[in-house]
Structure 1
């Protein structure tokens, strides 16, 4: 378990905590963490996925509550990149609405990658689908939100990648990004990009 204290603008005493497989998620979820389901159900889901030895979660804690989190997961067995042992998938990323615009999401992502084991030998793949975005609280249009989210992921070292995955092409606001480890071999990168979009090879 790795812990870091942050002093963020307008928000004191935010604790960043990395959890790995078999560790317990001891804090309740803030009531505003509801983009991906009810807070208690989300907490239970995260505790279940911590049973996988390739799972990592980074949470932001304020006043003994989880106010933001991001997950790093192995691909699902049915996903085409599940055959690539060095690929991981960034799952849900959420910050409680009243804690937004305080750079917490950026801090969570940076801490997630900092603490991840062998991250420079891996590729982290992220998919952004507009139907998951909290457009109401953000007061942004869908393409403004897309630009904001891209800037956030780029700040964490990710770059846009192009896939023929149907869900990505279901709407022009959807996109995919990846963080490519600095110590990844050329062969592994080629296999990844071929798997991502074999039509361009």
Structure 2
């Protein structure tokens, strides 16, 4: 179902100069780039670059990146939810997950995360999709930022809001495991009422 259009690009003028935001990027373009050594939240940078290539090669996979001097300094990923997760229960082709977002530490504070998400949903084709992001406090680099759980949650929520994602209730046990956890959702304009109702059922599975 996913339709890969020509990449969108936008320049962000920041205090350290111009940064290129672009995507969705194909695997072959990622082959020509290097990852900033501070992009290690999920796995070492080289291995994370390999993971991005694998996602970019998926039919529904989309990778948006922030580039500074031909170095990837940030990225956001979109793909179908993991088959073992509850969000794949109904195998909804038009349900896609904002799976990961990461900005190199020295580039934080430039609002690049918000700008990447904003760019990624500016493609009109994204209006066909329900986008979710599952936010778990144990995935946040709270120790490195020295922020409280609640301050970090505010930052994450504001960043997701830039792309039109907002908190929605759910009975998912992992989300309910801590009050700072949340399910963020954006429902595209072209999503049918039937699929909206199916997604509501998914949010409150077995209730």
The question of a shared fold, defined as TM-score above 0.5 by the shorter chain, is answered with yes
Q: Which residue of 2 aligns with 1:77?
A: 83
Q: Is 2:118 the counterpart of 1:110?
A: yes
Q: What are the Cα deviations for residues 114-144 of structure 1, in whole angstroms up to 9, with x where unaligned?
A: 23x6211210010011111111332211111
Q: Is 2:128 the counterpart of 1:121?
A: yes
Q: Which residue of 2 aligns with 1:43?
A: 49
Q: Which residue of 2 aligns with 1:86?
A: 94
Structure 2 Cα separation of the partners of residues 10 and 18 of structure 1 = 23
Q: Is 2:62 the counterpart of 1:56?
A: yes
Structure 2 Cα separation of the partners of residues 180 and 5 of structure 1 = 24
- Unmatched runs of 5 consecutive residues or more in structure 1: none
Q: Which residue of 1 aligns with 2:141?
A: 134
Is the CA contact 1:6–1:12 (under 8 Å) kept in the aligned structure 2? no
SS in 2 for 1:17: strand
What RMSD over aligned residues (CA atoms) do the two structures have, in Å?
A: 1.7
Q: Which residue of 2 aligns with 1:100?
A: 108
SS in 2 for 1:35: coil
Deviation (angstroms), 1:179: 0.7
Q: 1:48 to 1:12 in 2, by over 3 A?
A: same
**Aligned residue pair count:** 199
- Unmatched runs of 5 consecutive residues or more in structure 2: 1-5
Q: Is 2:204 the counterpart of 1:179?
A: no
